[in-house]
Amino acid sequence: MNEPRSVVENVAKDARYFPSLVGVFALGLLLLFLKELSESTKQYLVPSLVIYVLGTSFLGYWQSMLAWREELKKESTYIGTRPWTFAIIVVLHVLWLFLLIAYNLYRRSL
């Protein structure tokens, strides 16, 4: 039987949450220097980065639930996920990052 792992160990050993962790790190750095940031950065980049982190967190959670279903499939007759679901999640992560960049470039051009 596997010993239970702590939440930190699960996140540290799981690449599903890497985009969220990078986003949280970048957001934390921005918040450290919030007073020195330009007004447009405060108004657009910081909130859009929060939305990005929430979206990547949701995608990571969705991917972990699909992995959990695959484990259930191995233990029973449960019909699991399709093999292309991982590719869809990766495409969604890339699309979400592209939308973050596109939104901030659009706001900068106004």
Kindly report, residue by residue over 27-75, the tens digit of the pLDDT: 999 999 999 999 988 999 999 999 999 999 999 999 888 887 777 777 6
- From the list 18, 2, 97, 107, the residue with the least C-alpha distance to 63 is 18
Contact 54, 31 (CB under 8 A): no
> pTM of whole model > 0.85?
no
Across the chain, mean pLDDT equals 84
Taking CA atoms, 84 is separated from 78, 88, 97, in Å, by 18, 6, 20
From the list 93, 64, 69, the residue with the least C-alpha distance to 81 is 69
The structural domains of the chain, with segments of one domain joined by +, span 38-110
Residues across the chain:
110
Identify the pLDDT of residue 1. 46
